[in-house]
Amino acid sequence: MRADKRAYVNNLAGQAEAAAVRNKQSIGYKIIKILSVKCHLPAASLVKDEQDNLLITEKKQELRWTKHFKETPLDEAGIPEAMPDLHIDTHPTEKRLLAPSNS
């Protein structure tokens, strides 16, 4: 587990260095924020690509989610089909119209 954590941190550090070289300060800042002990990002905001690299920008995360859901059909994901529409009577009857309201 320690080796995995070290590899993860080294990978993030490499991504931060690459962002600094490309002058992408926002990406570098987000990576440093992840690496700092004071800030913990929720797991939902940590999206990785197929090579297990962290996707920092929202556009890349959105593209990854789109690709993921195209590859995973809903019927194979174990999600039950939606229930049929329920019939809701929206036409009041005379009895309901004459009843006193509480408001």
What is the 3-state secondary structure of 31-79? HHHHHCCCCCCCHHHCEECCCCCEECCHHHHHHHHHHHHHHCCHHHCCC
Q: How confident is the model over 25-50, as pLDDT tens digits?
A: 888 888 878 777 655 555 556 788 88
The CA distance from 96 to 91, in Å, is 10
Q: How confident is the model over 14-29, as pLDDT tens digits?
A: 888 888 888 888 888 8
| Residue 65 covered by a domain | yes
| Residue 102 covered by a domain | no
| Residue 94 covered by a domain | no
Residue 94's pLDDT band, with cuts at 50, 70 and 90, is: low
Task: For residue 33, give its domain range.
Answer: 2-72
Structural domain count of the chain: 1
Closest by Cα among 78, 14, 8 to 46: 8
